Structure 1
């Protein structure tokens, strides 16, 4: 029985491995979309858990068109804990990061319908400016619980920009951003996503979203993974391999 289970796990890992072409695309562009990672029944459970997290953290604030934020999904929800450690995500992570992978942190956002139904614009930036480190091994995984078409809040990337290293940011209206004189949305490529998709992207790839209108709720969750050898001072939960 034990040998059978081990064999099943090995076969499962092979099933979820990225192809050489997918790895090359990630290394070249700095991002990669995995389609239909979670099915509708799994999405229903994740949405329900997400709403529970929101209710538990509700402060009674009228968010309007601003997103409602959640965090620490691993420690607050068994459903999310399983999703974060699901081999459909962690196996590709071992191929891109290495055999040892830890969870750094999670953060979620849910946009509720409002009169304007307008998703806030995120100016072009690198995510490393929001962290206390800039290790090349950090990878963001965005789990989409709803559809985000290109014209309704879908992510936009500048392919290959992760190869430029750490770029100097300036203070923008909503936080750090790249100077408009050096980077433009005209350089970006839109990457729409459907519910159940997961987009992986490098900590240094330049990305953002333009102002978009959306009449339905839209929810995404960022799950950030890293090689524990280059992580934060506070150790995260290991999702693959072991801590050196």
Structure 2
């Protein structure tokens, strides 16, 4: 797929899966690094209450914010032109600025789901350039709780979310099961606009699902409120910050 085709697909559907952006060997090394980082940290489970209701029982999620502060491997990956060039093209900006990072591991057999939501509800911006890159460090078939999207939903703009049990869209109107599953292989990267409605299912497989999320923006796209600060926010991943005083 050419760059123009990628941009066209992203603009129409609100997401783009780039196959093999990093090699399977690199993905395995990053997977090991994710699990090593989490093993050194105090366990933290951010599973939403609404997610447990969807799962119908106890589930578990391992995660860590600001991954680049725990391992230089993730700092190198955030600056990799294979990633930043795609992010820049999809935003239509030469400049790519970091918003935040997260490691997510859905443990085998009971990995927590995420109800359908827009990232924009958590950190709204004025120009809506914010995007996410989800790096898959092992295979993510549907049975492992892969990401599910509603293609074209970004064109509806910001939607009202339900605060109870998390910050998500009403499940009756936005059922997880009706969203399109985006199955991925180790080394694939899923790019999502922050207005694109998405969620993910329960990992019912015998293996963990390991991903790194890198959320980014055009530096000229300012936050609409003082929310969701992170230690690394504002770091330039590509280009310059034209707003710097």
Distance 1:74 1:156, change over 3 A: same
Residue in 1 that maps onto 2:236: 238
Q: Are 1:102 and 2:97 matched, yes or no?
A: yes
**8 A contact 1:104–1:231 mirrored in 2:** no
Residue in 2 that maps onto 1:136: 128
**8 A contact 2:44–2:63 mirrored in 1:** no
Most deviating of 130-139 and 145-154: 130-139
Residue in 2 that maps onto 1:169: 161
Q: 2:16 aligns with which of 29, 32, 46?
A: 32
- Give the distance between the partners of 1:44 and 1:126, measured in 2 at CA: 29
Q: 1:76 aligns with which of 62, 70, 73?
A: 70
Residue in 1 that maps onto 2:207: 216
Q: 2:142 aligns with which of 130, 146, 150?
A: 150
Distance 1:186 1:59, change over 3 A: closer
Consecutive unaligned residues of structure 1, counting only runs of 5 or more, are 1-16
- Give the distance between the partners of 2:34 and 2:131, measured in 1 at CA: 22
Q: TM-score, normalised on structure 1?
A: 0.83
Q: Which has the higher strand share?
A: 1
**8 A contact 1:134–1:203 mirrored in 2:** no
Q: 2:190 aligns with which of 199, 203, 211?
A: 199
The offset of 1:164, in angstroms, is: 0.4
Deviations 1:127-181 (A, max 9, x none): 11222546410000000111110232111111100010010011343x1221234
Q: TM-score, normalised on structure 2?
A: 0.82
Give SS of 1:20's match.
helix
**8 A contact 1:65–1:111 mirrored in 2:** no
Structure showing greater radius of gyration is: 1
**8 A contact 2:15–2:190 mirrored in 1:** yes
- Give the distance between the partners of 1:165 and 1:146, measured in 2 at CA: 32
Aligned length: 223
